Structure 1
């Protein structure tokens, strides 16, 4: 009797396992339900349950998506300028898989080539918030479209939060935002120490055509947080062209050279830029011209490493105030925590153009 009961019990158990396995297989094969995510413009975006790939129009956001996702596997395409930055950044070391990411779907002017986008067939596309006509076209084509505002630290962090929701990496996104806010809080704590300090005039040079960061550029915030003053603050706009006469009148104490061009500090020290005379500019005379660092992305623009950029700039402008951290150690901690990567001395030299 015991044997008959045992056999019956086992048979029932086996049947139950088969049924459950079948249900599990059906659940595994069933597509995940559609999700709705609100982008930084307040638009509700209907997304597939699983994001397999993204096409990314805004230049810095390929590096930010990588940082949030922890991999480049889901980045199908990026802007040509983002790809150019990738080729000379730490992102190439951390995410070699991005070497195959397409740039054919977007022009230098951010225009979207719909036919090429169709070839990529991304799960969704990320665009600038001001690309209203393209957004309408993409919506008509039923392409899930995430629009991001960009320009301030708040915009950046709101965008990181949206990307975290898109990718299902909300916790990681919040960790990055917390890192940024904690570091910015550190600078708030330095305001009293900077209050009576002279504010060095800083000119942020974009390229060889005398395009500089104007008063509306996020670089103004970076400079002021680090205890300086943007020499071109009174010039309206973000990146704006000026004359050498204006530069001479401002006579900046410091010049930061961006990574958006091939210009090097030596070009100013040796007066190599055609039609420009830098020899009498205080920053050049005193040897205070530096190339901005480049980590995952160019530190000239808002990115996940912006707080580290301000730490770097702070030690250039006020080393006596910002003397309670070793930036190389902070960099190593950041890369280890978020990317599981141990920066070498050579990596640091590369990042800081040393």
Structure 2
């Protein structure tokens, strides 16, 4: 990135202040960015801490898993991604982000443990302008104590979280207007999905965060529970006979049999595919298995399971899974349009097949609606 002279930076700061106000208003009025007195950028993160940058961040290390791909989407470039969590890198490798931005696969990705505990020395060696981290003090304080600038994120399993992260990243990168554009697109899709779901009674849908190495399902206060209900479905894990507790909750096969879900979603945090359930004698009497309505969740620039910049595509996909179309789904065209908007990338039919997990889902009911014409 070019370093501007002080006069140009002061002018840029004024422009950012005007655009930043619009971005923050669009994201619910939360004050997350303002012009710094020196002409730089001041951010208020989700811990309520104030961060001051002399200029837009040029080197960013991201530790929360969705953050790396969101940064790339806001920036439409991987140029400013200096480091990321290994699970973020894996999603890029396994999805198509690595094809769209090959340089992202060369970004260091051993900056934290699986539970997000930072490797402080590894992070410091990357000389970041900003380190993005979850808002737990045990995760942020080691970085702050090392003199690093830390931007804290909160995840409450809500769409508002994505909007807030987008606004923070856009302001940090000096592109606050990008948050306005991204939220407007997401909001329009959300209104459309809500209108389609109005008055519908959909199937019971069970989401597995883990299947092969101990069953974990989406319980209360998860984003998965939100979008299951958004499209008109019900989540047996949060129903009258649901699991206790919040988040991803462990369960047993006997409980799955008792719930008897009509649709099963297999997430991208392990390698289970529909064929695993279709061949497993334990699950042969489950409605979703008998009717072959088990589906691997798509994997695009990021996993579609958790909240991200591609959540609107997940809502569209799940709507057509819950209420299969008799004609061809319009999702492929929506994916192509969204990827151009998010990543300045024109997808091929083969890439869309890969995103939608066409091979893994080929034997599942009604999946032909997502095929290429």
TM range (shorter): 0.7 to 0.9
Per the alignment, residue 258 of structure 1 pairs with 267
Per the alignment, residue 206 of structure 1 pairs with 209
2:243 aligned with 1:240, yes or no? Answer: no
Per the alignment, residue 316 of structure 1 pairs with 321
The 5-angstrom pairing of residues 188-227 of structure 1 reads: 188-194=194-200, 197=201, 199-207=202-210, 208=212, 209-227=214-232
- What are the ranges of 5 or more consecutive residues in structure 2 without an aligned counterpart? 11-37, 359-373
Per the alignment, residue 69 of structure 2 pairs with 63
RMSD, aligned α-carbons: 2.1
Question: Whole-Å Cα distance in 1 between the matches of residues 150 and 131 of structure 2?
Answer: 5
Q: Can you list the C-alpha shifts for 1:265-307, whole angstroms capped at 9, x where unaligned? A: 1000011xxxx71111110011000000011111000011111
Per the alignment, residue 148 of structure 2 pairs with 143
2:343 aligned with 1:339, yes or no? Answer: yes
Question: Is the partner of 1:206 in helix, strand or coil?
Answer: strand
Say if 1:200 and 1:253, in contact at 8 Å, map to a contact too.
yes
Question: Whole-Å Cα distance in 2 between the matches of residues 46 and 133 of structure 1?
Answer: 22
Question: Whole-Å Cα distance in 2 between the matches of residues 54 and 116 of structure 1?
Answer: 13
Question: Is the partner of 1:177 in helix, strand or coil?
Answer: helix
Say if 1:40 and 1:162, in contact at 8 Å, map to a contact too.
no
* Runs of 4 or more consecutive aligned structure 1 residues displaced over 4 Å after TM superposition: 24-30, 322-325
Q: Can you list the C-alpha shifts for 1:174-210, whole angstroms capped at 9, x where unaligned? A: 211111111101122224341xx3x311111122111
Q: Residues 138 and 25 of structure 1: is their aligned pair in 2 closer, same or farther, counting only changes over 3 Å?
A: closer
TM-score normalised by structure 2 residue count: 0.81
Larger Cα Rg: Structure 1 or Structure 2? 1
- What are the ranges of 5 or more consecutive residues in structure 1 without an aligned counterpart? 1-23
TM-score normalised by structure 1 residue count: 0.86
Question: Is the partner of 2:283 in helix, strand or coil?
Answer: coil
2:101 aligned with 1:95, yes or no? Answer: yes
Question: Whole-Å Cα distance in 2 between the matches of residues 167 and 224 of structure 1?
Answer: 34
Question: Whole-Å Cα distance in 2 between the matches of residues 253 and 285 of structure 1?
Answer: 9
